Every structure is written in structure tokens, then in C-alpha cells.
């Protein structure tokens, strides 16, 4: 026998005000998602979006999977019909590129949605997080006071404000760990250094920015610091930082920087002072999030996301970034 709960008319569900997206927009988005609901099409789209040439030949895309040429052409036709791709025939080959009006949508898909969808995070205990945050507040206050006492050449209120802002920026995305206070201190010191930098003196600085600051921007900064050997200083940040650096990227950081330095790498939020302190800002999939500061050089690198790549793909991305870094350093150190 099945128990049935009887709901009186007074307790009946009453419709609430609907806030769903409109029918026309939903139909358009559903059509795009349907076209993308195939692993090979997603791989093709990511290959085109990150091709250094800004486009890919159908012969390049045929190498992504063991399928026939007609199958490749069919998948590309589906993507083109959604308006995501443009094509151009040159001789016997056809080249594909992301349609200008769809570049932001493709970037959001590949740089934000895809990494989040491909990662399974354990849900955090809300009650435990609240309790930890309450205990952390006093430690942050103590850290702010200690740094203000140490950095006597800076305005005390400024130091305290930067420490608190740094902590707030990190705790929004990071999992609460025993390392939160040391990370806050490192981030605050970095920001205070940026704020007081004399742009007319010292070595050039490069800021790498991607969405999550968990992969390619971390990798690029590490490669610059390794190859430049102090002649150029590189830092990294994210427009929407992840909770941690991707494990396979941390392995590469260990190879480049050593275990001790790699273990302390953490995703950092993008700040205005970091951009102002840089001589060059390199964006990777998030070019419209950085403020435009006079005197700062901006570059945008179409580089694959190691969070979604195979081990072989991660190595290819590393070599791609290293080649670009060498070219960048040549313009800053000659």
C-alpha cells in the first residue's frame, strides 16, 4: 500500500512570477546547443578557436578523429549552419574560422562552461564554511595589522584595506584551507608592490590573464620567469578564478619552477592595480575584461585550455606558449 499525502486547497501550489528566458531566445540557444551536442564538433570548434592562424583547414580537422572526409564535412556544415563558423575555399581546400559575432559565445563556452562542466567538485559543507569564515576573520584582521606595522612607508589604512580586499577576492572562489592566510599575505604583498611600482624604473612586467587562472596563464607566467631569469617579471590572474590550479598544470609547474614554488601557485582574481603595474598584458580567451590603461601594451593569444586537453594536448599547449613567450621576451629584453 502506498501512502498518499493529501494537500488541502489552502496549501496548494500557486504559480509564481516566471523569470525564464524568452521563447525566441530559448529556441536560438537550444539550436546552438543541439549543434554542439557532439564530442567531435566540440573538438573541432576548440581547434579552430585556438589555432594561431585564426582559422583551420578541413585537412587539419580531419586529423582529430578516425572518420571519413564526408563525416568531417558534415559536422562542419552543422556548425556553419548555426552561424558559429565561416568558411572560405582556397583551391582544393576549405578553411573555417569563428564568425566575428560568435567569438564571445564560443569563448564563454570553451573558457568558462566547458572547464566547469568537465570538473566534478565535491559540494562544500555550508555550515562548516560559515564557521570557518567566522574564525578566519580575526586572523585576517591580525594579518592586516601586522603588515601595516611592517610597511611603515605606506598609508596604514591602505595596507589594511588591501589585505581585506585580497582575502575577500580569494575566498569567493577558493576552498577554505589552512593556507588561506599565507595566500592572502602573498596576494596582498603583490598588490601593494603593484600599487607602488615606478613604471619608469625596474625590469619590464608582464601580466597573463585567462578566465580561471588555473591553467594557461599560470603556465605562461612560469615559463616567462624561467626563461627571463629576472630580466622580466611575469604574473597571472583570472577574470573568474577557479578554486585551485588544474592538477596536470601543477605537474608542469613543478617541472618548470620546482616543487616548492609550484605548490604555492594559486588562482588569483584580476585587479586594476595588477593591470596598471604591467608593461604588457596578455589575455587568453578573456580580452574584453581588462581595463585599457594608457601606456600598457595588450596582446591576445589564442591558446588551448589545458584543463580540457589530453596529456599530449597539454604538452602541445606548453610548447605553443613557450614559443610565444620567446617571441615576447625578444621584444622586451633587446
Q: What is the pLDDT of residues 301-312, one digit of tens each?
A: 988 888 778 888
Choice among 153-162, 229-238, 288-297 with the minimum mean pLDDT: 288-297
Whether the pLDDT of residue 274 is over 80: the answer is yes
Query: Any idea which of 99-103, 224-228, 298-302, 306-310 has the lowest mean pLDDT?
Result: 306-310
Q: What are the Cα distances from residue 46, in Å, to 71, 96, 171? A: 18, 12, 31
Mean pLDDT, the chain, integer: 85
Residue 21 sits at φ, ψ, to 5 deg, of: -65, 160
Q: Give the pLDDT band (50/70/90) at residue 1.
A: low
The residue among 225, 243, 229 whose CA lies nearest residue 183 is: 243
Paired strand residues for 297: 280
Contact 302, 283 (CB under 8 A): no
Q: Measure the CA–CA gap between 102 and 264, rounded to whole angstroms.
A: 37
pLDDT reading at 149 higher than 90: yes
Q: Helical H runs in 85-173?
A: 103-108, 114-118, 126-150, 156-171
pLDDT at residue 189, rounded to an integer? 94
Q: In what order do the strands lie in the sheet with 85-90?
A: 56-57, 93-98, 85-90
Residues 6+ apart with CB under 8 A from 197: 205, 277
Q: Which three cell numbers stand for residue 106?
A: 564560443
CATH topology for the 24-118 domain: Arc Repressor Mutant, subunit A (1.10.10)
More confident residue, 182 or 13: 182
The CATH fold assigned to 203-334 is: Rossmann fold (3.40.50)
Q: Taking 90 as the threshold, does the pLDDT of residue 66 lie above it?
A: no
CATH code of domain 125-196: 1.10.8.1060
Q: Could you tell me the residue ranges of all domains in the chain?
A: 24-118, 125-196, 203-334
- What is the distance between the alpha carbons of residues 101 and 47, in angstroms, rounded to a whole number? 18
How many Cα atoms within 13 Å fall on the side-chain side of residue 314?
Answer: 16
> Which of the four pLDDT bands, split at 50, 70 and 90, describes residue 6?
low
Query: What integer pLDDT is reported at residue 157 of this predicted model?
Result: 95
Mean pLDDT of 325-332: 94
| pLDDT digit string, tens, across residues 8-60 | 555 566 666 567 888 888 888 898 889 888 999 998 998 898 887 888 988 88
Please give the residue that has the higher pLDDT: either 6 or 50: 50
pLDDT band at residue 242 using 50, 70 and 90 as cut-offs: confident
Tell me which of 266 and 17 has the higher pLDDT.
266
Domain 24-118 and domain 125-196, same fold? Reply is: no
Look at the chain and count its residues: 334
Amino acid at each position: 500500500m502506498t501512502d498518499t499525502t493529501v494537500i488541502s486547497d489552502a496549501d496548494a501550489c500557486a504559480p509564481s512570477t516566471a523569470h525564464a528566458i524568452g521563447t525566441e531566445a530559448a529556441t536560438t540557444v537550444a539550436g546552438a546547443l543541439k549543434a554542439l551536442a557532439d564530442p567531435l564538433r566540440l573538438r573541432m570548434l576548440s581547434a579552430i578557436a585556438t589555432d594561431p592562424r585564426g582559422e583551420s583547414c578541413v585537412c587539419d580537422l580531419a586529423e582529430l578523429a578516425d572518420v571519413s572526409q564526408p563525416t568531417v564535412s558534415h559536422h562542419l556544415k552543422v556548425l556553419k549552419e548555426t552561424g558559429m563558423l565561416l568558411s572560405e575555399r582556397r583551391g582544393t581546400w576549405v578553411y573555417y574560422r569563428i564568425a566575428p559575432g560568435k567569438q564571445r559565445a564560443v569563448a564563454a563556452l570553451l573558457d568558462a562552461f566547458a572547464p566547469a562542466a568537465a570538473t566534478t567538485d565535491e559540494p562544500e559543507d555550508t555550515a562548516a564554511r560559515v564557521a570557518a569564515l567566522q574564525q578566519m576573520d580575526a586572523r585576517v584582521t591580525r594579518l592586516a595589522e601586522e603588515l601595516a606595522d611592517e610597511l611603515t612607508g605606506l598609508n596604514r589604512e591602505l595596507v589594511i584595506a588591501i589585505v581585506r580586499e585580497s582575502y575577500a577576492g580569494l575566498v569567493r572562489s577558493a576552498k577554505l584551507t589552512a593556507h588561506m592566510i599565507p595566500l592572502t599575505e602573498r596576494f596582498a604583498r603583490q598588490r601593494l608592490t603593484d600599487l607602488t611600482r615606478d613604471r619608469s624604473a625596474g625590469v619590464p612586467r608582464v601580466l597573463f590573464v585567462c578566465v580561471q587562472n588555473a591553467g594557461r596563464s599560470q603556465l605562461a607566467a612560469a615559463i616567462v620567469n624561467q626563461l627571463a631569469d629576472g630580466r622580466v617579471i611575469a604574473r597571472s590572474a583570472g577574470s573568474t578564478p577557479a578554486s585551485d590550479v588544474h592538477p596536470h598544470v601543477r605537474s608542469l609547474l613543478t617541472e618548470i619552477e620546482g616543487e616548492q614554488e609550484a605548490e604555492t601557485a594559486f588562482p588569483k582574481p584580476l585587479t586594476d592595480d595588477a593591470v596598471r603595474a604591467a608593461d604588457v598584458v596578455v589575455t587568453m580567451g578573456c580580452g574584453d575584461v581588462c581595463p585599457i590603461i594608457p601606456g600598457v601594451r595588450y596582446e591576445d593569444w589564442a591558446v588551448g585550455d589545458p584543463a580540457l586537453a589530453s596529456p599530449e594536448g597539454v604538452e602541445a599547449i606548453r610548447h605553443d606558449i613557450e614559443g610565444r613567450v620567446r617571441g615576447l621576451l625578444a621584444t622586451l629584453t633587446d
